[in-house]
Amino acid sequence: MTISYLSPNRLWHIGIIGVGLLNFLLICLHPSLGLGQSPPSVPPPNVLDPTGRSGEPPPLQKQGPLPFPPSPRLILPPVNTFPELEQKRAPLLRVMVKKIHIEGSTVFTPEELAKVTAPFENRELSTEDLEELRRALTLLYVNKGYVNSGAIIPDQAVQEGEVTIRIIEGKLTDIKIEGTKYFLPFYLEDRIALDAGLPFNIRPLKERLQILLQDPRIVRLNTELKPGLKPGEAILQARVEEASPFRAWTEFNNYQSPTVGAERGLGTIAVDNVLGIGDQFLFTYGQSKGVNPLIATSYIVPFTPRNTTLELQYRLNNFAVVSAPFKQLDITSKSQIFKITIRHPLYRTLTDEVAISLIGEHLQNQTFLGGTGFAFTPGTSQDGKSIVSAIRFAQEWIHREPMQVLSFRSRFSVGLDVLDATNNQQNSDDADSQFFAWLGQAQWVRRFDPTGIELLISLALQISNDSLFPLEQFAVGGRYSVRGYRENQLVRDNAFLFSVETQIPVMPALFGPYVSVHFAPFIDVGRSWNAKFPTPDPQTLASIGAGIRLGFFNRAFANVYWGQQLNHIDEPPPYNTLQNNGLHVQFVMNIL
């Protein structure tokens, strides 16, 4: 008997009708970057971090001024997985079937397919029975996400009771991007295509689209899956709505050492999509009474669809000591940092990301007394120069859930005797550019509903068996370490930090959605010690206190923290500063 029953086009209707429009919405997290490290003690005061990096949030402390947002949410219309077929039915036939052969399947094992075909073997089948079998095989694919794969029964002569069913496994043949204003279309096409392998499965594609929506530069992404020219082919049409890539903001804070003027002003401009390939440029200019200028600039460009990035950074920080009685000594410092980073995500899903980074950094610092180069710290040259060339290897893991984020970061640093790096091999105890250090950081943020209370726990540990230059040492004391103490209160080779903070919404019903007020009690503890030289007291700082965090219409943000020292330290002048009273203040105004 000859079976002439199904058109290949019927396969397409089973797989594609009802997939429809996929709409994805995301509330995004807006992090900021930085690293807090600092300088040594000298006969003058603990001058400050010569690199200007103190007073900046460390990499894992990426809180924005607004409450921690939830994870992305996926909104999908109902999907009809078993649509009605409109093709005219063939005449009713009956045939004895002993064995069913499946061709073209690469997804399922013969055993999995046999579970579907076994009830139809060794019995007489009608054309309706064969249609039921074909649908069952198609739905086996559709229910696993292979929405444009399916089965057809080709024209054939049934011999010795054997029937052949062919599987056409689907593929995504084209991706069309519409609505781009700042992105070049290929940037999005290449990233979507990562999960459009053979055979095509819609589940990893959905997750890939959600991952794209974690990028704050993409506001909305509407997608529609349409049939291609041939059975099993699909075309994805995507319409994107983008956020403006242009940002600018000003900031005032007192996150510097009072020695150079604690209060500083900063202005930043950023372009989050310079050439349309996801590249980012940032430039910051700042100054205080003693710091002029502070310049930080960076450029990041992704060069693979999996967001392997190259980052170039430059930082310039020139300062003069302005506090009495050292102002008359005319102590100044100039420092520069050149940095290149290659970062590669090893694994990324909606909830987890594992990444590694290889970093090359060249740091230069020179201190002056009365305009003449002068060495204030052991290991620097007679004219006050210290140069560090280092290669660093960093590892990151971030786990996100709707109500919590858990982050770990590890970084190994090795100093190299290259690019005129300072070498003090004649005195092995003095700092030089040949060193080994490890920095580990962990952070847990947990949000408790329905109250909206957030708990933030942070840990940091730096370990080195070598004496380090101020360029590499760790600062304890200040806004992002132990509040209630001056910035750079203790600056040493090794350090441990622990912080617990709770952010409690204050009368959210009264202030409404456009104004946020949070009360933030905290406990901070820090300990630091030298690797080779004796460590003077105190070695431990601890404080308890509270802060107020304010947000206005997503345009302006302010926070004020006050900390009470639990281990009191007599401060050198100046005495009449906010930091001496345990206060840390910040105000940020978004311009663009």
Residue 93 has pLDDT above 90, yes or no: no
The amino acid at residue 157 is: A
Mean pLDDT within 350-365: 96
Mean pLDDT within 306-310: 97
pLDDT confidence of residue 53: 67
What is the overall mean pLDDT for the chain? Answer: 85
CA dihedral (426, 428, 430, 435) positive or negative? positive
Q: Kindly report whether the peptide bond that precedes residue 325 is cis, defined as omega within 30 degrees of 0.
A: yes
Taking a C-beta distance cutoff of 8 angstroms, is the pair 522, 547 a contact?
yes
Give the three-state DSSP class for 235.
strand
Give the CA distances from residue 581 to residues 56, 172, 483, 539, 566, in Å, rounded to whole numbers and listed in that order: 20, 64, 11, 21, 13
- 73-75 and 123-126: which strand pairing? unpaired
- Count CB-CB contacts under 10 A for residue 568: 10
- Count CB-CB contacts under 10 A for residue 196: 20
pLDDT confidence of residue 159: 85
CA dihedral (121, 125, 130, 133) positive or negative? negative
Q: DSSP assignment of 127-195, as one string?
A: HHHHHHHHHHHHHHHHTTT-TT-EEE---EE-BTTEEEEEEE--EEEEEEEE--SSS-HHHHHHHHGGG
Of all residues in the chain, the percent with pLDDT exceeding 70 is 85
- Count CB-CB contacts under 10 A for residue 224: 15
The top-level CATH class assigned to 1-30+57-243 is alpha beta
Residues of the chain with CATH 3.10.20.310: 1-30+57-243
Mean pLDDT within 350-368: 95
pTM of the shown model: 0.85
Give the three-state DSSP class for 81.
coil
Which of 263, 222, 271, 266 is CA-nearest to residue 246?
271
Taking a C-beta distance cutoff of 8 angstroms, is the pair 282, 246 a contact?
no
> Which residues share a beta bridge with 348?
353
Alpha carbons 291 and 297: distance in angstroms, whole number: 17
Taking a C-beta distance cutoff of 8 angstroms, is the pair 446, 404 a contact?
yes
pLDDT digit string, tens, across residues 326-357 = 888 899 999 999 999 999 999 999 999 999 99
Mean pLDDT within 454-483: 94
CA angle 287, 315, 364 (to 5 degrees): 110
Residue 70 has pLDDT above 50, yes or no: no
**Long-range contacts at 587-590 (CB < 8 A, ≥ 24 apart):** 587/251, 587/252, 587/253, 587/556, 587/557, 587/558, 588/65, 588/249, 588/250, 588/251, 588/556, 588/557, 588/558, 589/249, 589/250, 589/251, 589/555, 589/556, 590/247, 590/248, 590/249, 590/554, 590/555, 590/556
Residue 9 parent element (H or E) = helix 8-16
CA dihedral (381, 386, 392, 398) positive or negative? positive
Q: DSSP assignment of 487-519, as one string?
A: TTSEEESEEEEEEEEEEEE--HHHH-TTEEEEE
Alpha carbons 21 and 195: distance in angstroms, whole number: 18
Per-residue DSSP letter, 296: E
Cα end-to-end span (Å), the chain: 75
Higher pLDDT, residue 560 or 570? 560
Query: How sure is the predictor about 432, in pLDDT bands with cuts at 50, 70 and 90?
Result: confident
Residue 360 parent element (H or E) = strand 352-369
pLDDT confidence of residue 255: 94
Alpha carbons 138 and 12: distance in angstroms, whole number: 10
φ, ψ of residue 441 in degrees (nearest 5): -140, 145
Higher pLDDT, residue 567 or 34? 567
pLDDT confidence of residue 573: 74
Q: In sequence order, which residues have a C-beta less than 8 Å from that of residue 171 and are 6 or more positions away?
A: 148, 198, 199, 200, 232, 233, 234
Q: Report residue 108 as tokens.
A: 């399922």
Mean pLDDT within 499-510: 93
Residue 548 parent element (H or E) = strand 540-552
> Which residues share a beta bridge with 226?
235
The amino acid at residue 543 is: S
What is the dihedral angle through the alpha carbons of 412, 418, 424, 430, rounded to the nearest 10 degrees? -30
Taking a C-beta distance cutoff of 8 angstroms, is the pair 414, 432 a contact?
no
> Which residues share a beta bridge with 361?
339, 390
Q: In sequence order, which residues have a C-beta less than 8 Å from that of residue 248 and are 6 or more positions away?
A: 267, 268, 269, 270, 590, 591, 592
pLDDT digit string, tens, across residues 103-124 = 999 999 999 999 999 999 999 9
Which of 78, 21, 76 is CA-nearest to residue 223?
21
Alpha carbons 377 and 386: distance in angstroms, whole number: 10
Mean pLDDT within 428-444: 90
Highest mean pLDDT among 7-16, 33-42, 293-302: 293-302
Residues of the chain with CATH 2.40.160.50: 31-56+255-590
Longest C-alpha distance within the chain, in Å?
108
Mean pLDDT within 52-59: 72
Whats the size of the chain, residue-wise? 592
Q: In sequence order, which residues have a C-beta less than 8 Å from that of residue 164 and are 6 or more positions away?
A: 100, 101, 102, 103, 153, 154, 156
Domain covering 31-56+255-590, topology: Porin (2.40.160)
